[in-house]
Amino acid sequence: MHSHQEVFVDWLIELVAAEQVELVLIAGDVYDRAVPPTESVQLFDRALIGLSAVCPVFITPGNHDSAVRLGFGSGLMSANGVHIRSEIADIGVPLEIVGRDGTKVVVYGIPYLQPEVVFNQLEADRTHFGVLTAAMERIRADVADRGETRVVVVSHAFITGGSASESERSLEIGGIGDAPSSVFTEVDYVAMGHLHGAQVISTAENSHTIVKYSGSPLPYSFSEEKHNKSVTLIDVPKWGSVVYENISTPVPGPLSTITGALEDLLNSPAFTEVETHWIRAVITDPTRQERTRERLLERFINLKHIEFMPQGSSTMLSIQERLDPQNTPPIEIAAGFVTHVSRGELTDPQRNLIQSAIESVNMNDGSP
């Protein structure tokens, strides 16, 4: 994925310059793990240098990030246009922006809040709703002292009504993992991170608040096959509703799932138009075929994933249903293994070969 991420970063820098963007918002999950690979750190550094040369950048960490690592050097970076809100103490400390048209905007960051870790510090209930509510109380208290201004919040959480995919790590640890959009009332725009699909979350009928996930700029699992990957361009006017637009990102290729017997996938003209797509192949042969991956790669150069789902096969055996090695003949254990792996029955030649191997082992096991 790294080469595709590089393409996106270069494209984003060019877009920000071309659209004369005045502030870039990054709502967490900069990385996919707390200790990211070196090349990812270097690419993020390159992105920040390019973006901050055009306009300020505002960042909050997500549940995949280490807030401490992401926030290192934030005091120094803020002097160069990169503003990181990674600590609880900074939730009520906004970045103040005055647009070219004179619009005053205050931007607050709510990092990912794990209830079990932060509820005491926030003096909140030990739930996602509780800690987000406490965070917003701090923000509203600061807004109340500022007079007339537009308010933007950058947050990383799972808001009720959002459509998830297989790519997100669950936020539920011993309780409900989401919170309602009502926690953000009185805010003009909420830039959400966590969910990979671009989507607007419904709010109360009389609310002017927009709660929106921009989604991930690239697909990270085949559950995102139907996503239109994008970034969100936001216009915050002096008065009236905030306007936003999804700008499609340069994805490396469409994601497609193809299903059928191996020979059909290799030869059918029905799959010609997806030959260069990112492919998940679902193989329906009753038994596994030789060199499946190598043969598929000859036609589908961007093959990413293979699944075996034989037609008419039974479901995979659970651990309780596996054969007991103490009371089951070795040949039946071998036959059960073949069925478990290939979901096909052991043939007579295979059975004879395995029985011969078992007898050979038994004769040469070193027993007195």
**In the chain, where the domains are located:** 2-248, 253-313, 317-368
One-character DSSP codes across 317-355: PPGGGS--TTTS-HHHHHHHHHHHHHSSPPPHHHHHHHH
> Each residue of 91-100: pLDDT tens digit?
999 999 999 9
What does the pLDDT read at residue 31?
Answer: 86
Helix (H, G, I), strand (E, B) or coil at 235: strand
Q: What is the pTM of this model?
A: 0.73
Decide yes or no: CATH 1.25.40.10 for domain 2-248: no
What is the distance between the alpha carbons of residues 356 and 121, in angstroms, rounded to a whole number? 68
What does the pLDDT read at residue 319?
Answer: 38
Q: If we measure between CA atoms, which residue out of 206, 123, 207, 118 comes closest to residue 157?
A: 118
What does the pLDDT read at residue 33?
Answer: 83
What does the pLDDT read at residue 317?
Answer: 42
What does the pLDDT read at residue 59?
Answer: 94
How far lies 74's CA from each of 12, 90, 154, 226, in Å?
Answer: 22, 11, 17, 37
Joined tokens for residue 10: 């270069």
Residue ranges of the chain with per-residue pLDDT less than 50: 168, 173-175, 314-322, 366-368
What does the pLDDT read at residue 366?
Answer: 46
